[in-house]
Amino acid sequence: MTAKLLEGKVFAGQIKETVRQELTALKSEYGITPGLAVIIVGENPASRVYVANKHRSCEEIGIYSKVITLAEHTGKDELLAEIMRLNLDERIHGILVQLPLPDHMKNAEKEIMNSISPAKDVDGFHPVNVGKLAIGEESLVPCTPYGCIKMLELAGIEMNGKRAVVIGRSNIVGKPMFHLLLARNATVTVCHSRTHNLAEITSQADILVAAVGKPGFVTKDMVKSGAVVIDVGINRIAEKKLVGDVDFQAVKEVAGAITPVPGGVGLLTIAMLLHNTVKAAQMICKSSS
Ligand code: NDP
C-alpha cells in the first residue's frame, strides 16, 4: 500500500479561502479589519523568520499586522506594559509573543503569556482558553493541533469512534490534540516518554499523531495498516534538511494517509493563526455589539 499524501498547501488554501470570506463579512457587518500584533524580543534568527512569515501571511490575506521588535535586554516590566497597551488597542484583535524569550525572561514566561487578554490570545495558551477547550466551550485553540484537526476534517477522515493515539503530551501540541480528538468522539490515548510498550499501543491506532521532536521516531512496525499518520515533528538534521518524527519513506508503505515534512502540518499552523485572529475579532465584535 502507498499512503494518500495529505499535503498542507491544499488544506491551508481552503482554510485561507474561508478566512478571506470571514474578513469580508467582518468588514461589511462591523466595518473592521482584524489586527494581529506579534511581539518579538531579541535576535533569535529562527524567531525572526517565523515572525516575518506571519507578517507576510497577514498582509497577503488582508489582516492588519503589527510587529513589535524589542531589544534583547528588554525588561519584563517593559514587555508587560507593551502587552497591556495591546490588550487595550481597538485595532488589535490578536496578540502573540514569539517564543522562546531571552534567557533573563525565562522565569517570567508564564506571567508574560498570562498577561495577554484571553480574548486576544490567538495562540490559545492562556489558562482560560486551555480550560475552555478542556470543558468543550468555544475558545481560541492552539494553532498546530487545531490545524491537524482541520486537516482531518477537510480530508473527510472519520474520527467518530476511531482509536486515536497521540505521542507527546506538551501543552502546545499533545494535550490540546487529545481534547480536540476526544471532542470529535475518538477514543484517545496519549503516550509520552514514560509509556511502556509504545509500539503495541501505536499499532492499534486508526489515527496516529506524532509530536515528539525526534527524527524518524515512528517506524513502520509501530503503524497499523491503513492508519492515518499525522506528523507534527519538525527536526533540522542538516543545514537545509527538515524531517518529521515519522520515518516517512517506510511508513507510507503501510499507512492509509500520511502528512509529509516539510509541506504538511507546518503550513496549517500559520493558516490557523489567521483563522484565530479572525475568530478573536468576531468574538470581540459580538460581545461588544
Ligand atoms: P515537547 O518537547 O514539548 O514534547 C515532546 C513530547 O514527546 C513530550 O511529551 C515527551 O514526553 C514526548 N517524548 C519524548 N521522547 C519520547 C519517547 N521516547 N517516547 C514517547 N514520547 C516521547 O515538543 P512539542 O510538543 O513542542 O513539539 C513536538 C514536535 O512538534 C517538535 O518536533 C516541534 O518542533 C514540532 N512542532 C511543530 C509545529 C508546527 O508548526 N508543525 C508547532 C509546534 C511543534 P515527556 O512529556 O514524558 O517528556
- What pLDDT shows up at residue 239? 84
User: Is 111 contained in some domain?
Assistant: yes
Just list the catalytic residues: 54, 98, 123
> Hunting for cell 491551508 — which residue is that?
12
Per-chain mean pLDDT for the chain: 97
- What pLDDT shows up at residue 138? 96
Residue 170 and residue 113 share a domain: no
User: Is 64 contained in some domain?
Assistant: yes
Q: How far apart are CA 14 and CA 152, in angstroms?
A: 13
Distance 266 CA to ligand 1 centre (A): 14
Q: How far apart are CA 194 and CA 232, in angstroms?
A: 20
User: Is 19 contained in some domain?
Assistant: no
50-77 pLDDT, tens digit each: 999 999 999 999 999 999 999 999 999 9
User: Is 236 contained in some domain?
Assistant: yes
User: Is 134 contained in some domain?
Assistant: no
Residue 233 and residue 155 share a domain: yes
- What pLDDT shows up at residue 240? 85
User: Is 132 contained in some domain?
Assistant: no
Give the CATH number for residue 214: 3.40.50.720
Minimal-distance CA residue to ligand 1 atom 1? 170
- What pLDDT shows up at residue 288? 87
DSSP strand pairing (235-238 vs 241-243)? antiparallel
pTM: 0.97
Residue 240 and residue 162 share a domain: yes
Amino acid at 165: V
* Ligand 1 nearest atom to the CA of residue 261, by list position: 41
Residue 247 and residue 155 share a domain: yes
- Pocket (CB within 6 angstroms of ligand 1): 144, 167-170, 172-174, 191-195, 198, 211-213, 232-235, 265-266, 269
Q: What is the average per-residue pLDDT within 227-244? A: 94
User: Is 285 contained in some domain?
Assistant: no
CA angle 149, 151, 155 (to 5 degrees): 120
Rounded to 10 degrees, the C-alpha dihedral 137/64/78/171 comes to 30
Residue 155 and residue 112 share a domain: no
User: Is 107 contained in some domain?
Assistant: yes
Distance 68 CA to ligand 1 centre (A): 28
Give the CATH number for residue 107: 3.40.50.10860
* Ligand 1 nearest atom to the CA of residue 235, by list position: 32
192-226 pLDDT, tens digit each: 999 999 999 999 999 999 999 999 999 999 999 99
Q: How far apart are CA 120 and CA 17, in angstroms?
A: 22
Residue 104 and residue 178 share a domain: no
Specify the 3-state DSSP secondary structure of 97. strand
Q: Do residues 22 and 285 make contact, with C-beta atoms less than 8 angstroms apart?
A: no
- What pLDDT shows up at residue 207? 99
Residue 184 and residue 91 share a domain: no
* Ligand 1 nearest atom to the CA of residue 265, by list position: 41
Minimal-distance CA residue to ligand 1 atom 3? 170
- What pLDDT shows up at residue 289? 78
Does 1 score more than 80 pLDDT?
no
Domain boundary among 82, 117, 152: 117
Count of structural domains, the chain? 2
Residue 150 and residue 47 share a domain: no
- What pLDDT shows up at residue 112? 98
> Hunting for cell 493558516 — which residue is that?
271
Amino acid at 135: I
Residue 147 and residue 261 share a domain: yes
Cβ neighbourhood burial of 124 (10 Å; 0-12, 13-18, 19+) = buried
127-158 pLDDT, tens digit each: 999 999 999 999 999 999 999 999 999 999 99
Residue 107 and residue 156 share a domain: no
Distance 235 CA to ligand 1 centre (A): 10
Specify the 3-state DSSP secondary structure of 74. coil
With a pLDDT cut of 70, the percent of the chain lying above it is: 100
Q: What is the average per-residue pLDDT within 106-122? A: 97
Distance 8 CA to ligand 1 centre (A): 20
Alpha helices in 116-235 (DSSP H): 127-135, 143-154, 174-183, 198-202
Minimal-distance CA residue to ligand 1 atom 39? 266
- What pLDDT shows up at residue 126? 98
User: Using the 8-state DSSP alphabet, how is residue 210 labeled?
Assistant: E
Residue 204 and residue 259 share a domain: yes
Residue 162 and residue 108 share a domain: no
Domain range for 256 is: 143-267
- What pLDDT shows up at residue 206? 99
